[in-house]
Amino acid sequence: MSRVFNSILCQNCEPEHITTTPMNLYAIESGSEINRQIDDLIIKDHLASEKVIKLLLLGPSGSGKSTILKQMKIIHLNGYNTQELWARRSLIFKNVIDSVAQLLKGLQYLGIELPEERKIDAELIYEMLASNNFPQSLPHRIHKAIKRLWSETSVQEAFNRRSEFPLMDWAKFFSDQEIRIFDVGGEKTQRRKWIHLFDNVNALFYITAISEYDQVTQDDETTNRLQDALFLFKSIGNHEVFRDKQIILFFNKKDIFLEKIANKIPLTLCFPNYRYKNDYKNTTLYIQRKFEHQINDKDKTIYTHLTCATDTDHMNFVMGSVTDMIISKALKEAGI
């Protein structure tokens, strides 16, 4: 829990700290009643402030939802390793210099005069920007120049009138959006509880284990598991609340799927009408089309990824690109 609070408090701390946790991630899993109550309060607060991006992980039991969440925790809650943090520093400094330069141009635009003794500081900023060389440590003289500029009343005045000229939104670079991910049990008895989580969702992740195309469900031992997943996707994916929401489909356990395909286990076990080559490319494309066809709105884009949830690096890459897309859509919707 302390991590949840820390991350939330981070929104109001110095930019330096924010940058070390550019994406805060919340995992809501079963916990004690008190934790649940606190989580509830936090959810309400932050959903209300619209800073939270709510992602929902749904899918049949055993498809890999909790594994994906676990990977997200490893990737994000443990933070970035030292090398990754250092790699981000020069980008952050570039953003700092960019915005100070924009602010100075804003002064000119507004006709606000910078005092003579500060003009040398402004020159330093423009020089650094022109050099396009941003070190991993902000040079001391630049740091001092920014501090002096920032303490000027004229600069503060321009900053307060920032809506009148282009100035990058700091929130945007440092992505102070929080991401909260909801993982729920996929067992049939658990599914009726899902609806309680549907409100205010930014994106739905539907996880299905494509490797299960030759397996049957435990409930009746006759229904094909991938068919069951397809049927569930139809009912969830067409739900009214997700009409304007992004749907991301993860075909998980691709490692096991690959093995089965290599062992010539036919896809016809799940789709008797399948008539193409029983290779990875054709089978996955066919399964993808089958899932897409379940969605009534034919204009809706379903983002599909073949995943291996147990592979941290791979999930880092996949979730990185997907969450970037979700965040930029959320920022756009928020008018940023």
Ligand X SMILES: Nc1nc2c(ncn2[C@@H]2O[C@H](COP(=O)(O)OP(=O)(O)OP(=O)(O)O)[C@@H](O)[C@H]2O)c(=O)[nH]1
| Residues of this chain, 41-70, that bind Mg ion according to CB under 5 A | 65-66
**Which tokens go with 261?**
């395909």
51 in Cβ contact with 176 (< 8 Å): yes
Quickly list DSSP for 40-98.
HHHHHHHHHTT-EEEEEEE-STTSSHHHHHHHHIIIIIT---HHHHHHHHHHHHHHHHH
Between 6 and 218, CB nearer to ligand X: 218
Q: Which residues pair with 54 in a beta bridge?
A: 180
Name which of 202, 158, 194, 195 is nearest 178 in CA terms.
202
Query: Which region among 140-148, 279-287, 303-311, 321-329 touches ligand X (by CB under 6 A)?
Result: 303-311
| Residues of this chain, 184-203, that bind ligand X according to CB under 6 A | 185-187
Query: Which region among 145-153, 162-170, 174-182, 306-314 touches ligand X (by CB under 6 A)?
Result: 306-314
Q: Which residue is nearest to Mg ion (CB)?
A: 66
Between 138 and 261, CB nearer to ligand X: 261
Between 60 and 237, CB nearer to Mg ion: 60
Separation CA 93–CA 146 (nearest Å): 12
Residue 221 CB neighbours (<10 A): 7
What per-residue string of b and e applies to 166-200 under the rule 16 or more CB within 10 Å gives b? ebeeeeebbbbbbbbbbbbebeeeebeebeebbee
Q: Which residues pair with 303 in a beta bridge?
A: 248
Between 22 and 185, CB nearer to ligand X: 185
Question: Whole-number minimum distance, CB 12 to ligand X, in Å?
Answer: 34
Query: Which region among 85-93, 155-163, 273-281, 302-310 touches ligand X (by CB under 6 A)?
Result: 302-310
Query: Which region among 64-72, 126-134, 280-288, 323-331 touches ligand X (by CB under 6 A)?
Result: 64-72
Q: Which residue is nearest to ligand X (CB)?
A: 186
Choose, by CB under 6 A, the member of 61, 99, 202, 323 that binds ligand X.
61
State yes or no: residue 99 binds ligand X (CB under 6 A): no
Question: Whole-number minimum distance, CB 184 to Mg ion, in Å?
Answer: 7
Size of the site for ligand X (CB under 6 A): 18
Question: Whole-number minimum distance, CB 209 to ligand X, in Å?
Answer: 7
152 in Cβ contact with 118 (< 8 Å): yes
What is the largest distance, in Å, between two alpha-carbon atoms of the chain? 83
Question: Whole-number minimum distance, CB 208 to ligand X, in Å?
Answer: 9
Q: Please report where in the chains the tokens 């959006």 appear, as a residue.
A: 177
- Write out the residues near ligand X by the rule CB under 6 A: 59, 61-67, 185-187, 252-253, 255-256, 308-310
